[in-house]
C-alpha cells in the first residue's frame, strides 16, 4: 500500500463563502497603556497580543460580544489578568455560536477568586446580546497555557446550548468537543459516512467519538454503534444526546481507546477514527489491525500523523480514496478523510 498515493486523492472540498466561519472563538484579555481592555490572540510564537475583535474568520456575533465585554469591563473598571504577575481578573473568553439557532454560549475565564459585580456584568452583557443563552464562569488560577481551569460556575441560563447536524440535535457545554466550522462539518461527516458505506446489519466502532456526533449520525445506517472517548464529560454529553434524540442502538464508553481495543472481544464491520492532531498512536492502530474490520474510515486534521498511523496497516489494508475537506479556510490546515478496505 502506498501511503497517500496521488491518484487516490480527490479534489479538496472547499467553501463558497469562507468568511466568519468560526463558530467557536477563544480570546485573551489584555490592557493597553491607557488601561483600556482589549480581546485578542497571541501572535504566533510570542506573547504579543493582537486585537481579534474584527477577525474575518470569527463569527460576526462573537466579534460583537467580545467588543461588548471590553466596554462593560472598562465601565466596571475590571482589570485584565497578567500571567507574569498572576494578578487581575479577566483572563479569557470562549464563545460558541449555534449554527442552527444562533444561540450563544459564553464562558468567561477569570484568574481571580471571583468576578466582582458578576450580576451587573451578566445583566449588561445579556441586555446587549439577548441571543446569549448561557454564561459560565470558569476559574483558572494556574500558570498554564490551557484556556479553561477545572472549576465552572453557571451564572446565567442552563450552562449549555444546542446545535443540529441533519436531524440530530447536540448539546454543547463549555468542555464539549464540537467542530469549529459547522457548514463544513456537515460536508466532513457526510463524506466520512458515505465512504464508510454502512450496510444493514453492520456494527460500527466510533473511536474518539467526542459528544457522539458521528456515532449518532451513523446509527441511522447501522445495526449498532459503539462510541469510545477518554473524556467522561464528553461521554456524558454523548449519552444525553442519544436520549434526547431517541436513538437506542448506540453505546458509549468513557475509556482510553487503546485499552478498550485491547480488552474488547467484539468484532466490528466498520471502524471510524477521528483522533486529535496527535493521531491514534501505534498501539491503538495495532489493536485495530488485529480486529480486522472490513472497512476503516480515518478522519484526520493532521495528515502527517494520519500517514504514520496508516503505516501499521499497510500490508493488509488498501487505501481506496482520500478526500480533503477544507475546514479552516485561510489557514494551512486541512482535514483528510481516508477509506481503507481489507485486502480480503
The predicted structure's pLDDT at residue 186 = 95
Neighbour-count burial of 265, counting CB atoms closer than 10 A to its CB (0-12 exposed, 13-18 middle, 19+ buried): exposed
Domain range annotation of the chain:
6-16+181-342, 24-166
The predicted structure's pLDDT at residue 266 = 82
Tell me the CA end-to-end span of the chain in Å, nearest whole number. 14
The predicted structure's pLDDT at residue 9 = 86
The predicted structure's pLDDT at residue 194 = 97
Query: Looking at the domain 6-16+181-342, which fold is it?
Result: Rossmann fold (3.40.50)
In this predicted structure, the answer to whether residue 1 has a pLDDT above a threshold of 70 is no
For residue 170, the cross-strand partners are: 163
As a residue count, the chain comes to 344
- pTM, two decimals, is 0.90
d(CA 140, CA 147) in angstroms, rounded, equals 8
* pLDDT tens sequence across 89-126: 999 999 999 999 999 999 999 999 999 999 999 999 99
In this predicted structure, the answer to whether residue 316 has a pLDDT above a threshold of 70 is yes
Q: Domain 24-166 classified CATH 3.30.230.70?
A: no
Active site residues: 301
* pLDDT tens sequence across 190-208: 999 999 999 999 999 999 9
CB 143 within 8 A of CB 172: no
Amino acid at each position: 500500500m502506498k501511503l497517500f498515493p496521488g491518484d487516490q486523492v480527490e479534489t479538496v472540498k472547499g467553501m463558497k463563502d469562507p468568511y466568519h466561519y468560526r463558530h467557536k472563538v477563544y480570546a485573551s484579555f489584555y490592557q493597553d497603556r491607557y488601561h483600556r481592555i482589549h480581546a485578542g490572540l497571541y501572535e504566533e510564537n510570542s506573547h504579543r497580543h493582537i486585537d481579534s475583535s474584527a477577525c474575518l474568520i470569527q463569527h460576526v456575533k462573537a466579534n460583537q460580544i467580545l467588543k461588548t465585554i471590553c466596554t462593560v469591563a472598562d465601565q466596571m473598571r475590571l482589570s485584565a489578568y497578567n500571567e507574569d504577575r498572576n494578578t487581575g481578573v479577566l483572563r479569557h473568553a470562549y464563545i460558541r455560536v449555534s449554527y442552527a439557532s444562533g444561540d450563544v454560549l459564553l464562558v468567561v475565564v477569570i484568574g481571580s477568586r471571583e468576578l466582582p459585580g458578576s450580576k451587573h456584568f451578566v445583566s449588561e452583557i445579556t441586555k446587549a446580546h439577548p441571543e446569549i443563552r448561557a454564561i459560565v464562569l470558569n476559574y483558572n488560577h494556574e500558570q498554564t497555557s490551557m484556556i479553561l481551569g477545572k472549576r465552572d460556575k453557571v451564572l446565567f441560563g442552563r450552562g449549555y446550548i444546542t446545535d443540529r447536524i441533519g436531524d440530530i440535535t447536540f448539546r454543547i457545554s463549555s468542555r464539549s468537543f464540537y467542530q469549529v466550522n459547522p457548514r463544513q462539518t456537515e460536508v466532513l461527516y457526510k463524506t466520512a459516512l458515505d465512504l464508510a458505506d454502512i450496510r444493514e446489519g453492520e456494527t460500527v466502532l466510533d473511536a474518539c467519538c467526542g459528544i457522539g456526533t458521528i456515532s449518532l449520525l451513523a446509527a441511522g445506517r447501522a445495526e449498532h454503534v459503539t462510541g469510545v472517548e477518554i473524556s467522561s464529560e464528553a461521554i456524558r454529553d454523548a449519552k444525553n444526546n442519544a436520549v434526547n434524540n431517541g436513538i437506542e442502538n448506540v453505546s458509549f464508553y468513557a475509556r482510553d481507546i487503546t485499552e478498550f481495543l485491547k480488552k474488547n472481544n467484539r468484532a466490528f464491520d466498520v471502524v471510524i477514527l477521528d483522533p486529535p492532531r496527535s493521531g491514534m498512536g501505534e498501539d491503538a492502530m495495532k489493536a485495530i489491525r488485529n480486529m480486522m474490520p472490513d472497512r476503516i474510515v480515518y478522519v484526520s486534521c493532521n495528515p502527517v500523523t494520519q500517514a504514520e498511523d496508516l503505516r501499521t496497516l499497510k500490508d493488509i489494508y488498501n487505501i481506496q480514496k482520500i478526500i480533503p475537506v477544507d475546514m479552516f479556510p485561510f489557514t494551512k490546515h486541512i482535514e483528510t478523510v481516508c477509506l481503507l478496505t481489507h485486502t480480503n
